[in-house]
Amino acid sequence: MSKEITSPQPYTSEAECLQYHSQLFKTFATGKTKSIKWRKWQLKQMWWMLVDNEKAITEALAADLGRHKFEALTSDLHGLKTDILEHLNHVEEWAADEPVSSAGFLMGTLGKARIRKEPLGVVLVIGAWNFPFLLTLQPVIAAITAGCCVVVKPSELSVASQNLMQDLVGRYLDPEAIRLVTGGPQETTKLLELKFNHIFFTGSTKVAKYVAAAAAKHLTPTVLELGGQGPAIVTAKADLDLAAKRIAYAKFLNAGQICLSVNHVFVDPDVHDAFVNRLHYWTQKFSGGESSHMCKIVNKRNFERLSGLLEETSGKVFQASVKEGDNMLSPTVVTDVSIDDSLLSEELFGPICPVIKATYKDAVHQTNSGPHPLAIYIFSSSRSEINYVLQNTISGGVTINDVLMHYGVPGAPFGGVGDSGQGYYHGKYGFMAFTHQRTILEMPTWMDKLMAFRYPPFDMKNMNNFVVKNNLGFRRGETMEDQVIGGSRSWVWAGLGVLVASAIGVAMKNPNSFHPELAPDAGASPAEDLIAIMPLILF
């Protein structure tokens, strides 16, 4: 890899940022990015950007994080290419107007009620350093699919990836609608002073609070993809070898620098020693003594932070044998860890695995004493134990008897809750994050006579048209236990729909069908008859 890519480059100037910001708003105003053709073309260009530059991307990830080529291809590139194909395949479906199926005959059939998916506008995507391509470009894919213009801000900590991305985005994607800017905390702070229509941030909870505060000044909506101290809970009924194997894999992948990684492990006291024995085995097995298969800590500051936490721990430390290198921290397991240990004072974000003796119920209690984590991992063969953890915890997601896997469930949302994040993305959920759902209704002008009762001067006789009846059948005096839980009344509404449609048809053909006693010269009209069934149509 060239020195130009791996060495720090001058950050984007404030003047350039202002120029790009203005340019993108002008582009969005033209409607250019709303075109499905434009969206699909940009997604295809990103595909070729990844395919053409696979070697350069894997080299950049190796330079920044010491990432093995296999890990780079399977984590960053595979996920991005899969995302591009999914969005290309569904963009027309997701962007199409959606009829409101529950709108009824009046608003649905006659008023053509529908939801239009409109791009929010000019959006800012701030990426993370731990998966610099995946976590920066994934939300960009969603924003492009939604029809937005995008300012892309990769992390300055992954220097080689940032510099390469700046070159590639400028060469492959539409510069009138997509611009990449670089900068550190000072430059990012200035960037956040500008008004955007949406901000998507991936990073730490601490920085997210600054992003959210800056966004609030402009009432800008945000998606915040954060992290937290996500536990693995290993019960006495778990497959201990499999649990240890999968936890070691997740904990030391990317040197533990993953927002979804296992932060610490709760293990039932009855199986603690057996589990730790297998965890030691897999920790050494996966490291293999080869530092080329292990990622490094991103920079000296984080390396020293992790080393300091290890020095302060009162637990028993086991480290795998790995060849030393710059910012290389050996995979580490720490046992006899107390709840107030230094290793549990913050999200570790490194290859250190504290193990705490605790029953699954105690583990739930300890987990609930802190902020909601991004993920919880449950290892057990007992359905009652699994259900207990699920029912008594809150987290962004859960994987049972494995790790990380819920991140990649097709068609499912991914995101945190509370301190671990807000909002969702992946697939259609990412598209919707950058989309405004605009309700559209076209009321026929001839309907005005049928709805004249809504205008002043008001006549209380017309209140009959607005009576809301308890058609669900619940009654005064029933107890909470008396309630019917489950089942469906959809057949009732389907039947009413048929009756209403039939009644309207009869009324339009025969104005006096509802009141046969009325003579033709009595002034009765379809409008008067329809008023009687208006509540059914409306509600």
What mean pLDDT is predicted for residues 177-201?
98
Question: For residue 496, what pLDDT is reported?
Answer: 47
Would residue 11 count as lying in a domain? no
Q: Quick one: 171 and 84 in the same domain? A: yes
Q: What's phi and psi for 66, nearest 5 deg?
A: 65, 25
Q: Quick one: 169 and 37 in the same domain? A: yes
Residues 529 and 347: their CA atoms lie apart, in Å, by 67
Tell me the pLDDT band of 337, cut-offs 50, 70 and 90. Answer: very high
CB-based contact 133:155 (threshold 8 Å): no
* Distance, C-alpha 312 to centroid of its chain: 36
Statement: residue 434 has pLDDT above 80 = yes
> For 18-76, how does the pLDDT look when each residue is reduced to its tens digit (9 = 90+)?
999 999 999 999 999 999 999 999 999 999 999 999 999 999 999 999 999 999 999 89
Counting Cα atoms < 13 Å in the Cβ hemisphere of 163 gives 19
* Distance, C-alpha 168 to centroid of its chain: 26
CATH number, domain of 142, equals: 3.40.605.10
Q: Quick one: 221 and 244 in the same domain? A: no
Q: Is 148 a catalytic residue?
A: no
What mean pLDDT is predicted for residues 190-200?
98
Q: Quick one: 76 and 116 in the same domain? A: yes
Residues 389 and 384: their CA atoms lie apart, in Å, by 9
Please provide the size of the chain in residues. 539
Would residue 3 count as lying in a domain? no
User: Could you tell me which residue, 217 or 493, shows the higher pLDDT?
Assistant: 217
Would residue 101 count as lying in a domain? yes
Rounded to whole angstroms, what are the CA distances from 212 to 132, 142, 260? Answer: 21, 20, 21
> For 359-418, how does the pLDDT look when each residue is reduced to its tens digit (9 = 90+)?
999 999 999 999 999 999 999 999 999 999 999 999 999 999 999 999 999 999 999 999
Would residue 416 count as lying in a domain? no
User: Could you tell me which residue, 7 or 103, shows the higher pLDDT?
Assistant: 103
Q: Quick one: 206 and 252 in the same domain? A: no
Contacts of residue 321, Cβ cutoff 8 Å, sequence gap at least 6: 284, 287, 289, 330
Q: Quick one: 347 and 487 in the same domain? A: no
Tell me the pLDDT band of 2, cut-offs 50, 70 and 90. Answer: low
Q: Quick one: 310 and 367 in the same domain? A: yes
| Region class of 312: left (phi > 0), else alpha (psi between -120 and 50), else beta | alpha
Q: Give the 3-state secondary structure of 294-324.
A: CCCCCCHHHHHHHHHHHHHCCCEEEECCCCC
Report for 148-162, 450-464, 494-508: range of highest mean pLDDT: 148-162
Q: Quick one: 153 and 290 in the same domain? A: no
Paired sense of beta strands 352-357 and 264-267, if any: parallel
Q: Quick one: 396 and 460 in the same domain? A: no
Task: Transcribe 214-244 into DSSP letters.
Answer: HHHTTT--EEEE-----EEEE-TTS-HHHHH
pTM for the structure as a whole = 0.88
Active-site choice (17, 148, 149, 259): 259
Number of domains in the chain: 3
H helix or E strand, kind and range, residue 486: none
Tell me the pLDDT band of 343, cut-offs 50, 70 and 90. Answer: very high
Q: Quick one: 123 and 199 in the same domain? A: yes
Q: Is 225 a catalytic residue?
A: yes
Kindly provide the b/e burial profile for residues 200-224, where b requires at least 16 CB atoms within 10 angstroms of the residue's own CB.
Answer: bbbbebebbeebeebbeeeebbbbb
Would residue 71 count as lying in a domain? yes
The residue range of the domain holding 249 is: 231-409
Active-site choice (59, 187, 225, 385): 225
What mean pLDDT is reported for the chain?
90
Would residue 62 count as lying in a domain? yes
What mean pLDDT is predicted for residues 509-533?
42
Q: Is the dihedral of CA 31, 37, 39, 45 positive or negative?
A: negative
Q: Quick one: 321 and 290 in the same domain? A: yes
Of 396, 419, 438, the residue at which a domain comes to its end is 438
Query: Closest by alpha carbon to 426, among 133, 139, 147?
Result: 139
